[in-house]
Structure 1
Amino acid sequence: MRSGKLDRTIRIDRYDAGAVNDYGTPAPTFTPLATLRAQVVQASTEEFIRAAGASDETGIIFRTRWIDGVTNADRIVYEGGNFNIKEVKEIGRRKGLELRALEAVGE
């Protein structure tokens, strides 16, 4: 993986279901796991007609260096948007990761 192609910065957040707010009430939240350099391999937006009307869905494929423990329960923060990870693929033997994500609407 060439470092010159890693021209974007992403943050991977981990879902924390056991978090509690100041009042002792359960408040599930995301906590930062890692900030990484990444390459945007493909970005596309599709429009769908649903019961609530037309909606856009943005999908992005990122390539980054290997980090252990990334799962579909995590999310990516990129350029102010939240993206739910749909697929995690290992590149080589722990050389890198390919992360396929869809933009989280309403978060």
Structure 2
Amino acid sequence: MEAGKLDRIITVQRAVETGLPGRVPAITWTNLLTVRAEVREQNADEIATGFGQAEAETLVFIVRWHPTPITTGDRILFEGRSYDLKAITEIGRRDGWKLRAVGVQP
């Protein structure tokens, strides 16, 4: 992993349930961590929707390892757009993470 290639900034967010007892809980997203990343791969995957097929943007982010655990329940904010995490792969032994994410349709 080359430091010069970590030229983008991403924010990892986690869903948190909020609300008062006895009411329907609301989901809000809180910032978990903000890190520098490399966007290594970009392509469009076709996904089935209720109205046919659509294209979903898939990005792979390479980031340095961080002690804060990241799960596939989290999401990434990148350049004003949200991406759901689909796969997390550790690079080396605590060298970094490869995060594969799919763009959320607005």
Interval of TM-score (by shorter of Structure 1 and Structure 2): 0.7 to 0.9
State the match for 2:8 in structure 1. Answer: 8
Identity of aligned residues (%): 37
| Partner SS, residue 28 of structure 1 | strand
Q: In the superposition, relative to structure 1, how do residues 34 and 49 fare at CA in structure 2: closer, same or farther (>3 Å)? A: closer
- The TM-score with structure 1 as length reference comes to 0.86
Query: How far is 1:27 from its partner?
Result: 1.3
Amino acid paired to 1:31: T
Q: How far apart in 1 are the matches of 2:101 and 2:28?
A: 19
State the match for 1:37 in structure 2. Answer: 36
Query: Any gaps of 5 or more consecutive residues in structure 1?
Result: none
Q: In the superposition, relative to structure 1, how do residues 4 and 16 fare at CA in structure 2: closer, same or farther (>3 Å)? A: same
Query: How far is 1:56 from its partner?
Result: 1.5
Q: Does 1:95 align with 2:87?
A: no
Query: How far is 1:25 from its partner?
Result: 5.2
| RMSD across aligned positions (CA) | 1.8
Query: How far is 1:53 from its partner?
Result: 3.2
| Partner SS, residue 26 of structure 2 | coil
State the match for 2:79 in structure 1. Answer: 79
Q: How far apart in 2 are the matches of 1:47 and 1:71?
A: 24
* Higher percent of residues as strand: 2
Query: Any gaps of 5 or more consecutive residues in structure 2?
Result: none
Runs in 1 of length 4+ with deviation above 4 angstroms?
A: none
Query: How far is 1:49 from its partner?
Result: 5.7
Query: How far is 1:48 from its partner?
Result: 4.5
State the match for 2:54 in structure 1. Answer: 55
Amino acid paired to 1:7: D
State the aligned residue count. Answer: 103
